[in-house]
Amino acid sequence: MGKNYLNKKEKIADYCELPKDILLGVPILSLTGNRELRIDNLKKVLEVSTEQIRILCKDYIICICGEDLQILLYTKDELNIYGRIKEITFN
């Protein structure tokens, strides 16, 4: 997907006051301190260990690194991770 296409969709979302996550299909991350992370709009979980969890989203992979990581809830639309979260990267 080209950058111009995304920019146009973002402008439309802004103009119509629509949530970008719905129009663009991007994930929503909600972090509570460094202990809990909720991710909405994901495709699937790629890797799970106590030190790293990798999540496939529409346009990239989210990598969560930390200690004692565990998935508390995993549904088709939502993922809840608990543990000591040290780093979140987007590849």
Which residue carries 């103009």 as its tokens?
Answer: 15
pLDDT exceeds 60 at position 56? yes
* Average pLDDT along the chain: 87
Is residue 77 very low, low, confident or very high in pLDDT (cuts 50, 70, 90)? Answer: confident
Average pLDDT for 64-82: 95
Q: What is the second-level CATH architecture of the domain 26-90?
A: Sandwich (2.60)
Is residue 38 very low, low, confident or very high in pLDDT (cuts 50, 70, 90)? Answer: very high
pLDDT exceeds 70 at position 87? yes
Find the angle CA(80)-CA(52)-CA(48) to the nearest 5 degrees: 65
Is residue 12 very low, low, confident or very high in pLDDT (cuts 50, 70, 90)? Answer: confident
Is residue 59 very low, low, confident or very high in pLDDT (cuts 50, 70, 90)? Answer: confident
Cβ atoms < 10 Å from Cβ of 27: 20
pLDDT exceeds 90 at position 73? yes
